Amino acid sequence: MARGSEKPLGIPYRIWTAKVEDQNRIRVSLAEASEVVTWINKVPGSIECCGMPGAAGGVQLQPVDAIENFENPYLAALAEHNVTVSHAGESWVDTARLFATRWLTSISVESSRISITLPEPPRRALQLPAIGEIAIVFGFGPILEVWIATQWYDHVRRLSREKISLVSRSIDDLRQT
C-alpha cells in the first residue's frame, strides 16, 4: 500500500477524500468505487439516486429504485389510515419524516471516475460540504455515504475511544447473523 493511501488492500470497505468542485460535485475513481459499492457498475451513464440522512451521520446515497422498493410497502400500509394531528408522536409518522427528508441527485459514471452531485437542500442545511471544502466518501457493500470531513473524523474519533470493545461486539454481532 502506498504511503498515505486510503485503500487498504483486500478490504471490502474504504473512504475517499475529495474536494468539492464547482457545480457541487465530488469525483472518485470508478475502478475503486465499483470494487466496494455493489450498485455502481462500470457502464457509462447516470445513476439516479436519493440522498437521505445516514444512520451514523453524513448523507447516504442509494439508487432511486432501492428507496422505492423500501418505501412502497410503507405507502401501501399508510393508504389505509387517515392521518390526524394526534398521530404526530407515532413511530409511523417518524417513518414519514425520514422519507420526506430525501433529495434526488445523480451519479455520473464516466470512463475512469464517478461524479457525485451533492444535492442542494442538505448543503444549505450544512449536512454536506460546500464548494472548496473537503468531503469524505465512505463505501461498503450497498452503503455509499458522503460526509463533511470534520464530522467524519469526529465520528470515527469517538468510535476509536472504544475500538477494542467495538471490534469484539462487532465480531459477536456478525457471528449471530
Full pLDDT tens readout for the chain, 177 residues: 555 556 556 789 999 999 999 999 999 999 999 999 999 999 999 999 999 999 999 999 999 999 888 899 999 999 988 999 999 999 999 999 999 999 999 999 999 999 999 999 999 999 999 999 999 999 999 999 999 999 999 999 999 899 888 888 888 888 998
Rounded Cα distance between 80 and 69, Å, is: 19
- What are the boundaries of each domain within the chain? 13-176
Unique residue bearing C-alpha cell 485503500 = 7
Secondary structure (DSSP) of 20-79: -BGGGEEEEEHHHHHHHBTT--SSSEEEEEEEEE-SSSSEEEEEHHHHHHHHHHHHHHHT
CA 136 to chain centre: 10
Homologous superfamily, domain 13-176: Transcriptional regulator MraZ domain (3.40.1550.20)
What 8-state DSSP symbol labels residue 87? G
